[in-house]
């Protein structure tokens, strides 16, 4: 599950679309503003952390460290992704919120798996 969650966090297509002002990006996130640029930076940080953890996992680095770091990263994401359903106006119709909830389920399952004895 850790590989699935970390791979989901490799948001290259989303980041590329955000920079290119694709139509779906404007429809989902709104026009480019400082707030959207901050979100881009957050997504890029999540991508970099996920790539580093995924590489560590795949090369057999200290599993306990990688698992602990992944739990921290994924846990924060679950909180903010579920939070979008509470804070975004008309959340049930927003594709970003809906995809956030789906990813939160996957990340939550990964956390449960990693914490299981």
**pTM confidence score:** 0.92
Q: How far apart are CA 96 and CA 105, in angstroms?
A: 14
Domain enclosing residue 56, as ranges:
2-115
Residue 25 and residue 18 in contact, taking contact as beta carbons nearer than 8 Å: yes
Mean predicted confidence (pLDDT) in 63-88 = 97
Report pLDDT digits (tens) over 89-99.
999 999 999 99
107 token code pair:
């990340």
Report pLDDT digits (tens) over 67-79.
999 999 999 999 9
Report pLDDT digits (tens) over 31-51.
999 999 999 999 999 999 999
pLDDT: which is higher, 105 or 22: 105
Report pLDDT digits (tens) over 15-27.
999 999 889 899 9
The per-residue pLDDT for 11 is: 87
- Residue 75's contacts (CB-CB under 8 Å, 6 or more residues apart) are 107, 111
User: What is the domain count for the chain?
Assistant: 1
């Amino acid at each position: 599950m850790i590989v699935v969650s970390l791979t989901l966090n490799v948001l290259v297509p989303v980041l590329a679309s955000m920079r290119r002002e694709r139509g779906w990006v404007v429809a989902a996130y709104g026009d480019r503003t400082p707030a959207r640029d901050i979100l881009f930076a957050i997504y890029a940080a999540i991508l970099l952390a996920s790539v580093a953890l995924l590489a560590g996992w795949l090369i057999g680095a200290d599993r306990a460290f990688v698992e602990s770091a992944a739990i921290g990263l994924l846990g924060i994401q679950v909180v903010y992704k579920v939070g979008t359903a509470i804070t975004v106006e008309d959340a049930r119709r927003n594709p970003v919120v809906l995809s956030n909830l789906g990813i939160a389920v996957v990340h939550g399952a990964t956390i449960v798996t990693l914490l299981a004895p």
